[in-house]
Amino acid sequence: MKLILCLFEQLSGLKINFHKSELFCFGKAKDEQNTYKQLFGCEMGSLPFSYLGIPIHHRKLSNSEWKCIEDRFEKKLSCWKGKLLSYGGRLILINSVLTSMPMFLLSFFEVPVGVRKRLDFYRSRFFWQSDEDRKKYRLTRWDIICRPKDQGGVGIGNLEVKNRCLLSKWLFRLSVETEGMWVQILHNKYLHSKTLAQVNVRPNDSPFWKGLMKVRSSFFHRIKFIIGNGEGTRFWEDSWLGETPLATQYPALYNIAQRKDAYVATILQSHPLNIQFRRSLIGHRWADWLHLVRRLMDIQLSDETDRVQWKLTNSGIFTVKSMYLNLIDTITIPKSRNIWKVKVPLRIKVFMWFVHKKVILTKDNLAKRNWGGSTRCSFCDNEENISHLFLHYPLARVLWHTVRIAFNIIPPDSIDMLFGTWLDGVDKIIARHIRIGVCALFWAI
């Protein structure tokens, strides 16, 4: 083996540095590893080893073997003085550094739940506490913080969803690319002559391939097949005739179909159509069948292979962003983005987001956290809450009265109205200036 390496040096003109190389022995070779070590002049390596920043092992990495990523997080946090940063500064650092640090690994492996929670713990601790030695209240749940801004969050990336999206990118590339060594390796090792839908997961598959198979189902829900010869598209379970699978469009027929995994070519190349059902088609099933047959009459197979399109983009090309927004999509809150569009410092935007969520530590919120003090306002003896502090507190009333005189607009009655319908009908330019003034007013209070 060393002779082969020496020949490689002579033929390529490259020099192998054996002192920086590591030797790995398996099976019976372990009995002679000291001999091999002296022969090659290498140190003995241990698994997992790092290659291009990725820990490599013949099996799935355990939680403890992800420790290198956690250590990088802690090392990065230790050199930051979080207590000197505002919430806005911490938000920028989390998004630009902490969230991007593990992206390379997230694109190759399915990250264990325990590791993901630990990374979220570091991000959450830095955002809320700024200093690991000083505990502070977490004003709201971390999953809310990780929502997009138009869905009521602050836009911090969700590592679990990002992990699924980055793995799905490999599936799309494998579906559309035919050249490249990595494509040939995966085809020869896992796919052979099968499609992604046909291949089964085996116990001896690599952790990388198992991760791809974990996200395969969600990937197929978001792609559309352009029919060629029909040999790579499932008749019932893939989207090829319309925007959703035929199983979704005709559930009554799908439920009684004998071969739910049949391919388009198998069904359309025979006359009559090669579809068998377990029951007779009567009533609404017969009507569905006639409707489906009429649509199938317009389909013509060709000699070309089936092509894959990404349904979430106009170009049909996969993007991580499009899948991320689709997976994390909950309920869009139309007015929530207004907070982030106001031209004020980011720390004030985050503060206004806290006000919008009603999580500022007023006395009523402190009482919910088992604080033992009085919940009455120190100045007017009314119950202290978010609305009282910023809208009905005596000083706040004076300031809002000034706003009413200056802009001829009635002050909001509640926080919900302030962030909701309060400025509806007001000229956009004037509304923009009013929002800046409100941010300054709230920050001053």
**Does pLDDT of 131 surpass 70?**
no
Supply the pLDDT for residue 334: 61
**Does pLDDT of 300 surpass 70?**
yes
* pTM over cut 0.85: no
| Amino acid identity for residue 233 in this structure | T
Supply the pLDDT for residue 130: 60
Q: Measured on CA atoms in the order 43, 44, 47, 51, is the torsion positive or negative?
A: positive
Better-predicted residue by pLDDT, 303 or 62: 303
Number of H helices, E strands in the chain: 23, 6
Supply the pLDDT for residue 7: 87
Supply the pLDDT for residue 134: 67
Please state the rounded mean pLDDT for residues 380-406.
87
Mean pLDDT of the chain, nearest integer? 86
Please state the rounded mean pLDDT for residues 413-435.
87
DSSP one-letter string for 234-289: BTTTS--SSSS-HHHH-HHHHHHBS-TT-BHHHHHTSSS----BSS---THHHHHH
Label residue 106 exposed, middle or buried (CB < 10 Å: 0-12, 13-18, 19+). buried
pLDDT > 90 in the chain, percent = 27
Supply the pLDDT for residue 343: 92
Supply the pLDDT for residue 346: 93
Neighbouring CB atoms inside 10 A of 343's CB total 10
Supply the pLDDT for residue 250: 94
pLDDT interval class at 344 (50, 70, 90): very high
Supply the pLDDT for residue 313: 94
Supply the pLDDT for residue 331: 62
Contacts for 106 with CB less than 8 Å, ≥ 6 apart? 159, 162, 163, 166, 167
For tokens 């009559």, the residue is 272
pLDDT interval class at 424 (50, 70, 90): confident
Please state the rounded mean pLDDT for residues 257-285.
89
pLDDT tens digits for 360-384?
988 888 888 888 888 888 888 888 8
The span from the CA of 38 to the CA of 248, in Å, is: 64
**Does pLDDT of 401 surpass 70?**
yes
Closest to 137 (Cα-Cα) out of 360, 384, 378, 375: 360
Q: Which of 50-54, 61-65, 221-225, 321-325 has the lowest mean pLDDT?
A: 50-54
Better-predicted residue by pLDDT, 55 or 79: 55
**Does pLDDT of 5 surpass 90?**
no
